[in-house]
Amino acid sequence: MARPINTLSTRKVLALKKAGRHSDGGGLYLRITPGGAKCWVFMSVVGGKRAEIGLGSAVAVGLATARRLSAEMREAVATRRDPRSILEIAKPATAQMVPTFGAFAEQYIASIEAGWKNAGQSNQWRNSLRDHAVTLATKPIGEIDTDDVLRCLQPIWLKLPETASRVRGRIERILDAAKARGLIPRENANPARFRGHLDFLLPKPASLSRGHHAALPYNDVLGFMVQLRQRNALAARCLEFTILTAARSGEALGAHWTEVDLEEQLWRIPARRMKAAIEHVVPLSDAAIELLARVKKEFPSNGDAIFAVGGAQRSNMAMSMLLRRMGFGHITTHGFRSTFRDWAGDCTSYQREIIEAALAHTIKSKAERAYRRGTAIERRRRLMQEWAEYLAKRPLPLIPSARP
């Protein structure tokens, strides 16, 4: 009587938990380790000895593929060939079944980017992984371990803490998605997890604390602006506009001409692009209007997108790289909002509510929210004009100390 074959099913393979070997017939077995990892093995006699030949992880190699390999191995045994030679022939094909981190990351980003408010997030994800996770790109996603993640993070963990934190989070999310897709065993811990894992292996710089971004003191921003205005790149104009408007970098990077009323000197950022999901109206200073006119003249090919390149929105990395090239890699683009806040608080008499409204901070009080309407726009316009005039000042020359 012939022994039964093809006794397993895909659903049963997923459901089986008991450690040991589970036969599919014809020498093919699903092996489950005490830890729950599943792999395919082919049992045969090679050279007079019983041999167990691994066919690969059940996560990477499907039931149909395992059956095909085992059938070819049975044929090899029947014709007095070494069944292991079949695995060598099949190796290039089976290797392609497990995507690399880079390939899966691209698939994952493409599958979720439609739900992001800011179109620039796609570029931010891709650019940060390209720049800081390149060593993972060609590695099968199921083989990535803690050492691989550390090799990506350690060079930038202290030097670029904000970037490093984002890269780590993106790697963790991609690996979790791969686990959900069945490409990584569900019982495997995520090697990019911070709490209870990487936090024991990496230093904890103060700048990783939420809400703190390295910033220039407002007394030093004047010299910075002189250098910035000497640069002709579009990224420089975008950074200058970001500083003049005290906007978040993503808001400036995603700005469109349809949002700008040049006659009224207003920039209306739609709710879908705002952190608080509330429309924000920015009064534009004379300097901001002049900057926009310059951009329109020098970069007319961008169409409706003000600071895009070839129609594609740039990522935050464009301004971060600019800061590094200028020798200011120790500060962040977001930090200029802190510079503005400190200047407005120390050097002007504007009420806190006006300053907070200029920064588009969420205001809980109904009375404070009123400052977002009516005459508050004109008061904020004066504030932003004063900020622009301050930024246009020439920095004071350094006075050498007198010799004794």
- Taking CA atoms, 27 is separated from 48, 55, 57, 351, in Å, by 16, 12, 17, 80
- 280 with 378, same domain: the answer is yes
Distance separating alpha carbons of residues 18 and 263, to the nearest angstrom: 73
CATH number of residue 120's parent domain: 1.10.150.130
- Taking CA atoms, 403 is separated from 397, 398, 399, 400, in Å, by 18, 15, 12, 9
- 56 with 192, same domain: the answer is no
Of the candidates 13, 42, 39, 40, the residue with the CA atom closest to the CA atom of residue 27: 42
**Tens digit of pLDDT for each residue in 257-295?**
999 999 999 999 988 888 777 888 999 999 999 999 999
**Model-wide pTM > 0.75:** no
Long-range CB contact pairs, 34-43, < 8 A, 24+: 35/187, 36/185, 36/187, 37/185, 37/187, 38/13, 38/185, 40/66, 40/69, 40/70, 42/69, 42/70, 42/73, 42/83
- 245 with 271, same domain: the answer is yes
Of the pLDDT bands very low, low, confident and very high (cuts 50, 70, 90), residue 207 is: very low
Residue 120 within any structural domain of the chain: yes
**Does residue 47 come out as left (phi exceeding 0), alpha (psi in the -120 to 50 range) or beta?**
left
**Tens digit of pLDDT for each residue in 92-110?**
444 445 678 988 888 788 7
- Give me the residue label for tokens 């997030």: 121
Q: Which residues contact 204 (CB under 8 A, 6 or more apart)?
A: none
Report residue 393: phi and psi, to 5°. Answer: -70, 150
Residue 213 within any structural domain of the chain: no
Residue 5 within any structural domain of the chain: no
**Residue that finishes a domain, picked among 46, 69, 95:** 95
Report residue 176: phi and psi, to 5°. Answer: -65, -40
**Tens digit of pLDDT for each residue in 53-102?**
888 777 667 788 889 888 988 888 888 888 888 776 655 444 445 678 98
- 235 with 335, same domain: the answer is yes
Range of the domain at 296: 221-391
According to DSSP, the residues that pair with 45 across neighbouring strands are 50
Question: 190 is written with which tokens?
Answer: 């995520």
